[in-house]
Amino acid sequence: MSNILTPILLASALTSSTLTAQIAIEAETLYPMTGDLKPIKNGVVLCGASGKIEKVGTAAEVAIPIGYQRIKAKVAMPGIIDAHATVGLSGILNSDKHDQEQLEKSAPIQPELRAIDAYNGRDPLVKWVRDLGITTVHTGHAPGALVSGQTMILKTNVTSITDAGKDTLRQFAMVAATLGSDGFAGGDKAPGSRAKSLAMLRENLLKTQIHARKLADKDQDKRPEPDLRMDALVQVLEKKIPLLVSAHRHHDIAAALRLQKEFGFKLVLDGASEAYFLLDEIKAAGVPILIHPTMARPYSERENMTFTLAAKLHAAKIPFAFQSGYEGYVPKTRVVHFEAALAVAYGLPHERALAGCTSAAAKLLGIEDRVGSLKPGMDADLALFDGDPLETVTHCTGVVIEGKVVSTEVR
């Protein structure tokens, strides 16, 4: 198998960390993921020194200027987006004491826990997914507590977050919550039932409404002191931050929809194994879904999951995106486009599957102005393959983030 990055590898003095400047990607098949999502044959993407895309089109339309580094690929597409993960918080070692920061169980409701304070961008698991073409992740605190904490969105080339505003796309993306038995505290601690879970959530949201009114008081002396927990939930009630609710059973999904209707926040459903029972209700509520990993283990809350959920959501015109999700065993993550590939085998159109981990994922996460498609002005993030990205025998052969080659390993 020939390596598509041969022109680069011949320059032996260069390493992936130094491959910057102006790059021209020449692909036999190019997926811009714009408009009708159709690919371009013999496509070219010009990446400028600013890290942005300059031009996209066919080889006949886009002339490659002198001095641009040319990289040839069988297939090129936007850098892949993992719409929900815990990578960077859950590490590759699977050791509770050393690299498992995705879930804090000391209290049932902790929206104040920030993903940026736990993220380790140098964990080998981050590099592993990056080398497979994943350039952007929505990551943070995992399902498993009633409210487990915050999530964030960032590029997989960020090793240390020293400036949250510059190093992330969204330093505070969503507040993660869990309904159903996965969110129970265990033992005699609350919550231990579905009714208690909803009562506790409702109580905290009602208190947050009062807190928000006090914050808005024109008399500064009457405003309350900062409260990390309440202040995080205020952003949810003000619709600045969505509430990401992990729920698999149909009655837990219905409970999330009721709660959203009562308090008016932005809701994103996570997992939603039994969403096919409530397609009309979910569509009417305008709620998008981060679909459960297609290859998740079908037991407990997910025992009624189906490989056809993505196809059903597509047919119902409900927005969705693919995720790697949280794994409770080694290696603590899946690979998001492998999940999309299986959805194609069970009825989802090919281009829609690619959109579910590129353009549609970017739109759902509110970052479509930066990533998810290939067009002028967008971040120059690309994943390169030696075949169809949704075929399991295909390898990722190169990764570009913001115009910089970050991987030349064949994975």
pLDDT of residue 330: 61
pTM of the model: 0.94
CATH class of 81-184+239-365: alpha beta
Residue 314 CA to residue 291 CA, distance in Å, equals 11
Residues 6+ apart with CB under 8 A from 92: 99, 123, 124, 125, 128, 330, 331, 332
Low-confidence residues of the chain, pLDDT below 70? Answer: 1-20, 94-97, 329-332
Q: How many residues does the chain have?
A: 411
Residue 97: predicted pLDDT: 65
Per-domain residue ranges of the chain: 6-78+373-407, 81-184+239-365
Q: How far is CA 106 from CA 49, 178, 200, 410, in A?
A: 47, 15, 16, 42
Residue 38: the pLDDT is 96
**C-alpha span between 3 and 72 (Å, rounded):** 9
C-beta separation of 361 from 169 below 8 A = no
Write out the CATH class of domain 6-78+373-407: mainly beta
Closest CA to 406 of 32, 51, 1: 51
Q: Are 168 and 148 in contact (CB under 8 A)?
A: no
Q: Residues near 103 by Cβ (< 8 Å), separated by ≥ 6?
A: 141, 142, 144, 145, 148
Question: CATH topology of 6-78+373-407 equal to that of 81-184+239-365?
Answer: no
